[in-house]
Amino acid sequence: MNRQRNTTFSLLTPSQVYLKAGNKPGTIIKIEVPKTVCRNEMSKSGRELGLVETISIANPLFGSKANSTNGTNPLWTQQFDYLIVIDFESTCWEGEQGGWKQPEIIEFPAVLLNVHTGQLEQEFQQYVCPIENQKLSEFCKSLTGITQQQVDDGVPLSTCLLLFSRWINTIKQNKNLIFHGNSTQKSENERLCTFVTWSDWDLATCLHNECRRKQISKLDILNQWVDLRATYKQLYNRRPQGLRGALSELGINFEGREHSGLCDARNTSRLAWRMVQDGGVLKITTNINTTSARYGSFLFEHPFLQHLPSFREAPNNNCAQGAKGLTMTKIAKLPQTAENIRRVYREAGLPPPIL
Give the pLDDT of residue 204: 94
32, 133: one domain: no
**Catalytic annotation, pick one of 53, 89, 104, 210:** 89
What are the helix and strand counts (H, E) for the chain? Answer: 13, 11
Q: Report if residue 310 sits inside a domain.
A: no
- Assigned domain for 29 exists: yes
Model confidence pLDDT, tens digit, residues 228-266: 999 999 999 999 999 999 999 999 999 999 999 999 999
Please report whether residue 63 resides in a domain.
Answer: no
Is 342 part of a structural domain of the chain?
Answer: no
> How far apart, in whole angstroms, are the C-alpha atoms of residue 162 and residue 195?
17
Catalytic residue flag (residue 307): no
Among residues 123, 208, 258, 259, the one annotated as catalytic is: 259
CA angle 257, 261, 263 (to 5 degrees): 45
Rounded alpha-carbon distances, angstroms, from residue 210 to 90, 106, 164, 191:
11, 12, 16, 31
- Counted domains in the chain: 2
In-domain check, residue 317: no
Instruction: Report pLDDT for 349.
Output: 56
Q: Is residue 307 situated within a structural domain?
A: no
Tell whether 121 and 209 lie within a shared domain.
yes
The answer to whether residue 302 is catalytic is no
User: Does residue 181 belong to any structural domain of this protein?
Assistant: yes
User: What tens-digit pLDDT sequence spans the chain (355 residues)?
Assistant: 444 333 333 334 444 443 444 444 333 333 333 333 333 444 343 334 443 333 333 333 233 344 443 445 566 679 999 999 999 999 999 987 777 889 999 999 999 999 999 999 999 999 999 999 999 999 999 999 999 999 999 999 999 999 999 999 999 999 999 998 766 667 888 999 999 999 999 999 999 999 999 999 999 999 999 999 999 999 999 999 999 999 999 999 999 999 999 999 999 999 999 999 999 999 999 998 754 443 343 333 333 333 333 333 333 333 333 223 333 333 343 444 556 666 655 555 555 555 4
Burial (Cβ within 10 Å: 0-12, 13-18, ≥19) of residue 70: exposed
User: Are 45 and 84 part of one and the same domain?
Assistant: no
Range of the domain at 31: 16-49
At 258 the pLDDT is 96
Contacts of 270 (CB under 8 A, 6+ apart): 247, 252, 255
> What pLDDT score was predicted for residue 17?
41
Q: For residue 10, list its beta bridge partners.
A: 32
- CATH number of the domain where residue 119 is located: 3.30.420.10
Are 233 and 114 found together in one domain? yes
Task: Give per-residue pLDDT as tens, 66-105.
Answer: 444 344 556 667 999 999 999 999 999 998 777 788 999 9
